[in-house]
Amino acid sequence: MSTTEPHDAVDVIVTKRGKGELSDGQIDWVVDAYTRGVVADEQMSSLAMAILLNGMTRREISRWTAAMIASGERMDFSSLSRPTADKHSTGGVGDKITLPLAPLVAACGVAVPQLSGRGLGHTGGTLDKLESVPGWRAALSNAEMLAQLDDVGAVICAAGDGLAPADKKLYALRDVTGTVEAIPLIASSIMSKKIAEGTGALVLDVKVGSGAFMKDVDSARELARTMVELGTDAGVRTVAVLTNMQTPLGLTAGNALEVRESVEVLAGGGPPDVVELTLVLAREMLAAAGRDDVDPADALADGRAMDAWRRMIAAQGGDPDAELPRARETHVVAAPADGVLTSLDALQVGVAAWRLGAGRARKEDPVQAGAGVELHAKPGAVVRGGDPLLTLHTDTPERFERALAALEGAYTIAPEGSRPDLLPLVVDRIA
């Protein structure tokens, strides 16, 4: 190591290993030095494990997030004629909410700069879903993004390499070192990108349940509170909503399947839970941006949200009237008996959709646009033996066997009169 470096990686690791607090100088240096390649992967993985085991104070997490932001560029939307608000979901199964939400909020006079990602494992990625629309492209320059926000009011696109490059490097390391679950590192990863993105207000949809990152309400609440504090400390109006991910959201998990469902919501239909959550988050975004005088339900009902969707898709090269891809093969899973569907496990449905080709195991894997799982009943529904419960979609029928294996024990059918024991759709709100 060069003698000009003001700190030493081993000292930083030993401080955190001993449950000490890192100084601002140590944090600024270690994030920058890791980004530059001065701190080795094995040293940063050791520090990440110490953070996982021993935690960080609010000051440490806030400083760590600021150091991640400082590793790259910051976007600026102050030239826009309207306020900005963004939403981040921690990811789940059937979570297509960004698709109807961005144009809905734009139709109500608030610009939505939605930088999204791709799916990995059982949680779907917003960009993968939209890429099932013929012609649509995810990669926009900062200038194109700003022009589209000015014109349409909503953009959903990939984050450029310039935003928080330290996070990109650290995220890949956490993935292979068993440190993904460290709440300080999850929170700083999400919030460094969102704060660098330059939005004025941020609404966090923190999922809780089997299909979510956070399996229980207490850990979801801790993550939500940490992220709200980070946003607040950085001057971004931030609120978090804890929402149920015990069971899939809506009636589809897949790419084109979820786009089709999102368009139904924008047309005034769609599954009640998707409509409800879209409106809950829209109201939060509008209030955080100072526009709580507008009711987003009106913009869904009168077609303004659909108009904004069509303009948003077209602005990124997509054809809003094109036929969406459909999988070549389907397989129906029938209800084994009469009764009430009392549970349908989100994680198992997500893994089945992933195995059908809707998701990827590695970043470079391709996805099938038409693959996924369609639900014919949700918990609480009365079903009859032999009725369709799920339809599996894929272009490659050899995938059905492993998808069906993922669904073993995924649902429960109880005698009529039984009631599902589920969390409410919105569990809590943290501001």
Give the tens place of pLDDT for each residue, 266-287: 999 999 999 999 999 999 999 9
The pLDDT of 389-417, averaged and rounded, is 97
What kind of fold does domain 9-55 have according to CATH? Answer: 1.20.970
378 a catalytic residue? no
Comparing 202 with 4, which gets the higher pLDDT? Answer: 202
pLDDT interval class at 3 (50, 70, 90)? low
What is the SS3 assignment for 421? coil
Cβ pair 374, 391 in contact under 8 A: yes
Q: Where are the domains of the chain?
A: 9-55, 85-315, 329-414
Measured at the CA of 154, the angle between CA 153 and CA 159, to 5 degrees, comes to 130
What kind of fold does domain 329-414 have according to CATH? Answer: Aldehyde Oxidoreductase; domain 3 (3.90.1170)
Q: Which residues pair with 239 in a beta bridge?
A: 203
Which residue is catalytic, options 86, 167, 205, 233? Answer: 167
Comparing 4 with 427, which gets the higher pLDDT? Answer: 427
pLDDT the model gives residue 280: 98
pLDDT the model gives residue 194: 93
88 a catalytic residue? yes
17 a catalytic residue? no
3-state helix, strand, coil in the chain (%, to 5): 45, 15, 40
Q: Report the C-alpha gap between 175 and 51 in whole angstroms.
A: 15
pTM: 0.94
Which residue is catalytic, options 7, 63, 87, 88? Answer: 88
Predicted confidence (pLDDT) at residue 1 exceeds the cutoff of 50 = no
The pLDDT of 63-77, averaged and rounded, is 95
137 a catalytic residue? no
The pLDDT of 12-26, averaged and rounded, is 98
Which residue is catalytic, options 96, 174, 393, 399? Answer: 174
Average pLDDT, rounded, for the chain? 94
pLDDT interval class at 120 (50, 70, 90)? low
78's CB contacts (< 8 A; 6+ apart) are none
What is the SS3 assignment for 36? helix
The pLDDT of 314-336, averaged and rounded, is 98
Classify 85-315 by CATH class. alpha beta
pLDDT the model gives residue 328: 98
Residue 240's alpha-carbon distances to 69, 134, 206, 294, in angstroms, are 21, 34, 7, 20
pLDDT in tens, 213-238: 899 999 999 999 999 999 999 999 99
Percent of the chain with pLDDT over 70: 99
pLDDT interval class at 344 (50, 70, 90)? very high
Which residue is catalytic, options 16, 87, 129, 193? Answer: 193
Which residue is catalytic, options 46, 116, 189, 262? Answer: 189
Q: What is the dihedral of CA 57, 226, 89, 276, to 10 degrees?
A: 170
167 a catalytic residue? yes
